């Protein structure tokens, strides 16, 4: 931990700034060494090594006087990543006239987690995660974990799941808060989670190699990442290992990889479960539920559906009708309603009633998110696949929000993906930007995204969406 008062001015000559910062470290008792031929980016950043008898190893002190840019951050990472190799005792300290780029701050300031994310970014640039590459990327993951964290994994050994679980919970997560403390302006890992997801999935697949294979996510599941397709006799079931890795990172031990491996996988492999007969309205009615899907969902033409908002923007979510079976959901087709002689309004009304019954005690399921900017925010934590769908219970959700958040006339609402529903107190423009940033992050990095829009929640439910200026539409 460096505790030296040294500042630089925006736009001042870099050489002069370097001399002044070096002098400040020497005055604080550090031994300073400035390389005669520093590695790249000398026009943008200069560095020196500072060693103190009070701490092991040395600190790389980086001095910059110009703004950080995306290309500059990538160039800096490519130049200096070698210094992050496991086994080196080098700390990093930035003396910058401008906020340090989030990518650089994370990679060089997060220890093992930063090293793994940097290596995973390089790997996924050349090998993007899909059904064809998942096994190869899992092998890459094993090597990266060995190289940068010193851990040995055997993809054929189910016990490796415990190592992956501990890596996520103890190394990757920035805190112990089960809701995951977030900072809106901070970089959050994505590539490392994709690599770990492929590794976790490959461990599962190799336990059942004759019955599992990597496949693209079917329309029924949706999302960006491949799934494990399980041969279940007359039926096909999907496991979502990458999804689980993201949820474990975001939500902690409540979404343990160990539990998924020991319980969920075992349950799926035990064989298909009998599904309820829904051949009549009397049988279908108790099982129907509303589900949110993204605007461009490819199965939407034949499925009974409607818009999330009246006169909403073109990229607003869809509300579709589904049947909640014990181990999966199926979707209600227009033809089914014609055969049963019921209209869509009647079925949607019943679906909302069923969702309300499933959602008793909403306030107790709203878990605080500790955001560094001080925004009062919660996420919905129902342990099923209908968190986002509960945005349809707008009045009940509003009443629940008033119990756990500061009482407001309106709240911000986000449904970035299937498993995440976010609510925040609606106070000012700066607070809206924080909320918008988190909604977009959850939307961009999820296997089952729904919407990056921010909505406004009032006593009567969802009032409309908010544009980039934070104004209601």
Joined together, the tokens standing for residue 173 give 């997560």
Contact 91, 2 (CB under 8 A): yes
Read off the pLDDT band of 158 (50, 70, 90).
very high
Contact 378, 367 (CB under 8 A): yes
Place of tokens 């181990």: 327
Contact 411, 392 (CB under 8 A): no
Joined together, the tokens standing for residue 266 give 């075992």
Distance CA 227, CA 120 (A): 20
Highest averaged pLDDT of the listed ranges 329-333, 370-374, 445-449: 329-333
Q: Model's pTM, two decimal places?
A: 0.74
Place of tokens 């908010």: 466
Read off the pLDDT band of 100 (50, 70, 90).
very high
Sheet of 90-96: strand order equals 31-33, 45-51, 58-64, 90-96
* Whole-number pLDDT of residue 164: 96
Q: At how many degrees (to 10) do helices 102-109 and 111-126 cross? A: 120
Which of 357, 435, 363 lies closest to 400, judged by CA?
Answer: 363
Which of 288 and 274 is assigned the larger pLDDT?
288
Contact 368, 179 (CB under 8 A): yes
- Span 429-443, mean pLDDT? 86
- Span 244-252, mean pLDDT? 85
Q: At how many degrees (to 10) do helices 241-251 and 191-207 cross? A: 130
How many C-beta atoms lie closer than 10 Å to residue 465's C-beta? 19
Distance CA 6, CA 97 (A): 11
pLDDT of 56 above 90: no
What are 399-418's pLDDT values in tens digits? 999 999 989 999 999 999 88
Which of 275, 285, 268 lies closest to 231, judged by CA?
Answer: 268
What residues pair up with 290 in beta bridges, in sequence order? Answer: 321
Distance CA 274, CA 280 (A): 17
Q: Could you give the domains of the chain?
A: 14-109 (3.40.1350), 118-269 (1.20.120), 281-357 (no CATH), 362-466 (no CATH)
Pairing of strands 90-96, 212-215: unpaired
Distance CA 436, CA 328 (A): 31
How many C-beta atoms lie closer than 10 Å to residue 147's C-beta? 15
- Which residues does 28 contact at the CB level (< 8 Å), separation at least 6? 3, 4
Distance CA 379, CA 91 (A): 35
Which of 218, 249, 264 lies closest to 120, judged by CA?
Answer: 249
Give, in order, the Cα–Cα distances in Å from 462 to each of 315, 318, 431, 434, 465. 16, 14, 19, 20, 8
DSSP state of 99: P
Contact 366, 404 (CB under 8 A): yes
Sheet of 411-417: strand order equals 366-370, 376-380, 420-425, 411-417, 454-458, 461-466
Torsion, Cα of 302, 307, 310, 311 (10° steps): -80
What are 103-142's pLDDT values in tens digits? 898 898 888 898 899 999 989 988 999 999 999 999 999 9
DSSP annotation string for 394-418: HHHHHHHHHHHS---S-EEEEEEET
Distance CA 223, CA 226 (A): 8
Pairing of strands 58-64, 90-96: parallel
Read off the pLDDT band of 264 (50, 70, 90).
confident
Highest averaged pLDDT of the listed ranges 175-179, 233-237, 386-390: 386-390
Q: At how many degrees (to 10) do helices 111-126 and 134-149 cross? A: 150
Task: Say what percent of the chain tops pLDDT 90.
Answer: 43
DSSP state of 262: I
């Amino acid at each position: 931990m460096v505790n030296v008062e040294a500042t630089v001015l925006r736009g001042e000559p870099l050489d002069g700034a370097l001399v002044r910062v070096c002098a400040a470290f020497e005055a604080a008792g550090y031994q300073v060494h400035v390389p005669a031929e520093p590695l790249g980016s000398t026009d943008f950043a200069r560095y020196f090594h500072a060693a103190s008898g009070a701490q092991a190893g040395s600190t790389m002190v980086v001095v910059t006087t110009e703004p950080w840019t995306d290309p500059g951050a990538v160039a800096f990472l490519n130049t200096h990543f070698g210094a992050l190799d496991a086994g080196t005792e080098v700390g990093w300290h930035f003396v910058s006239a401008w906020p340090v780029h989030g990518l650089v701050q994370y990679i060089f300031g997060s220890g093992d987690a930063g090293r793994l994310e940097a290596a995973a970014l390089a790997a996924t640039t050349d090998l993007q995660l899909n059904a064809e590459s998942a096994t190869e990327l899992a092998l890459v993951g094993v090597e990266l974990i060995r190289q940068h964290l010193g851990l040995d994994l055997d993809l054929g050994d189910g016990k490796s799941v415990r190592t992956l679980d501990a890596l996520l919970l103890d190394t990757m997560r920035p805190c112990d808060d089960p809701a995951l403390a977030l900072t809106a302006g901070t970089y959050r890992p994505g590539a490392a989670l994709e690599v770990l997801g492929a590794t976790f999935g490959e461990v599962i697949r190799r336990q059942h190699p004759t019955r599992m294979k990597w496949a693209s996510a079917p329309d029924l599941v949706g999302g960006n990442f491949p799934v494990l397709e399980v041969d279940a006799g007359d039926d096909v079931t999907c496991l979502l290992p990458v999804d689980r890795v993201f949820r474990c990172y975001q939500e902690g031990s409540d979404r343990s990889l160990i539990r998924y491996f020991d319980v969920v996988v075992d349950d799926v492999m035990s064989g298909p479960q009998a599904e309820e007969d829904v051949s009549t309205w009397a049988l279908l009615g108790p099982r129907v539920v509303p589900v949110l899907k993204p605007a461009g969902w490819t199965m939407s033409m034949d499925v009974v559906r409607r818009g999330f908002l009246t006169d909403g923007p073109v990229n607003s979510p869809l509300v579709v009708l589904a049947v909640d079976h014990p181990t999966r959901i199926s979707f209600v087709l227009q033809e089914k309603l014609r055969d049963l002689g019921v209209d869509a309004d009647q079925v949607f009304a019943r679906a909302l009633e069923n969702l309300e019954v499933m959602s008793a005690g909403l306030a107790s399921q709203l878990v605080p998110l500790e955001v560094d900017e001080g925004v009062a925010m919660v996420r919905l934590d129902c342990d099923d696949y209908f968190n986002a769908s509960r945005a349809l219970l707008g009045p009940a959700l509003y009443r629940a929000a008033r119990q756990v958040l500061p009482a407001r006339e309106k709240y911000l609402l986000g449904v970035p993906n299937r498993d995440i529903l976010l609510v925040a107190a609606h106070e000012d423009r700066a607070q809206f930007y924080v909320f918008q940033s988190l909604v977009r992050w959850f939307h961009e990095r999820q296997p089952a995204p729904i919407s990056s829009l921010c909505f406004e929640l009032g006593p009567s439910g969802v009032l409309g969406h908010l544009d980039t200026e934070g104004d209601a539409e």
